[in-house]
Amino acid sequence: MQWAALSELVPLYPLYALLFTDHGLSDARISGLFALWSITSFLTEVPAGALADRWSRRGAIVLAGILQAVAFAIWTAAPGYAAFAAGFVVWGLAGALVSGASEALVHDGLAAVGAAESYARVNGWMVSAELLVQLPTAGAAAALFAVGGYPLVGWVSAGVCLAAAALALRFPEAPPTADDEDDVPLRRGVLEALRRPALRWAVLAAALVGGLDAVEEYFPVLAADWGVPTTAVPVAVVGIALAGALGAALGGRAERLPSGVLLGLLAGAGVCLAAAALWARPVALGVTAVFYGLYLAVLVVAGARLQARITGPHRATITSIAGIGIEVAALLVFAAWAIGGPVAVAALVLAVVPVVRVGLRTQEARTQEAGTQEAV
């Protein structure tokens, strides 16, 4: 929990989209930077997950924090389009390193003490902690910006990333087994796992739902476009983060809901985002907050059902395969925003609902998987 909170206590987070606009970047160029970020993660997700499974999941998380600090240092030292692009490449690699490793480390740690069924609740609280810390982050961002502008915000952010990396060194981790260290069983294990229909659909659902979280990058832009002054943007978007924290914290309870109800929550989230986009006033940020809370509850469930389907020593690698799908789905979000703004993104949320339906099944998925294993 402490690491999850500290890793998000980065004052640059609520301001970096505005950093780009204040340096003259258009919406299209900003979307291009976000796309570069996703493409980098796409290309490095599975190698990073395999590295975590074979080498050290804890080590991958520590390295990710160091690389993220490097990315922010690049932005701060030489702000401009080229530096922003280079920073996103480094940050994309950092994100790939941590994405599969953190989930695998948490799940296997719980499984080691016989509490694997608590993953949804624990992961939901971790996501909630990451969002709740945005409240002090927003205050720190506003204070630091008022004192030293973007340079002070950037250097402090790099320092926080290094502190999170140092904290991650304390994570307990079992040493890799002989199978973990062999490349051939690794590849074979992943291929065999993805032949199971229940796991394959769970990977797809987690990817599609997870990719929609890319819309979070635009919340500060929405606030500014809807009339919120730049100095007040970090505080204005805190309500969205708090609603998301509540939704994530309730993810453990939502995990027990039938798939039809969960799909209704996801569809309702899309409708809320569309309504906020059409309203386009500062008060519409409240409706955006409802969207984010509903969405994050479903996101936590999708991640938990994916982890429940994975067996064997290749958890970080398979989670990273879902991470590739998340990056592809994020590219769709960026493209939708560039074409039609938040209305287009809301339409995308509604469009993925029918596809996600199969992956969120609970008992049906277990029955299908059991039948497949018996046939084998």
What CATH number is associated with residue 29? 1.20.1250.20
- What DSSP character marks residue 118? G
Domains contained in the chain, number = 1
pLDDT tens-digit series, residues 328-351: 888 899 899 989 999 999 999 999
Work out the average pLDDT over 281-292: 94
Q: Whole-prediction pTM value?
A: 0.76
The confidence score (pLDDT) of residue 370 equals 43
Better pLDDT: 322 or 66: 66
The confidence score (pLDDT) of residue 208 equals 93
Work out the average pLDDT over 38-64: 85
223 three-state secondary structure: helix
Enumerate residues 6+ apart whose C-beta is below 8 A from 117. Answer: none
pLDDT band, residue 368 (cuts 50/70/90): very low
Work out the average pLDDT over 22-39: 85
Alpha carbon of 60 to those of 164, 315, 363: distances in Å? 13, 14, 34
Work out the average pLDDT over 172-195: 61
pLDDT tens-digit series, residues 252-280: 888 888 888 999 999 999 999 999 999 98
185 pLDDT higher than 80: no
Tokens 């386009």 -> residue? 280
Q: Helices 134-168 & 238-249, crossing angle to 10 degrees?
A: 60
292 pLDDT higher than 90: yes
pLDDT band, residue 174 (cuts 50/70/90): low
311 three-state secondary structure: coil
Backbone angles phi, psi at 205, to 5 degrees: -65, -45
366 pLDDT higher than 80: no
Distance CA 274, CA 276 (A): 5
Give me the domain span that covers residue 123.
Answer: 2-375
pLDDT band, residue 183 (cuts 50/70/90): low
Alpha carbon of 255 to those of 219, 298, 370: distances in Å? 27, 8, 21
Mean residue pLDDT across the chain: 85
pLDDT band, residue 153 (cuts 50/70/90): very high
Distance CA 191, CA 295 (A): 30
The confidence score (pLDDT) of residue 184 equals 56
Query: Which tokens sit at 71?
Result: 């990315």
Query: Which tokens sit at 87?
Result: 């920073």
Alpha carbon of 141 to those of 154, 203, 250: distances in Å? 10, 36, 28
8 pLDDT higher than 80: yes
The confidence score (pLDDT) of residue 189 equals 55
pLDDT tens-digit series, residues 84-124: 999 999 999 999 899 888 888 888 878 877 888 888 888 88
Enumerate residues 6+ apart whose C-beta is below 8 A from 366. Answer: 198
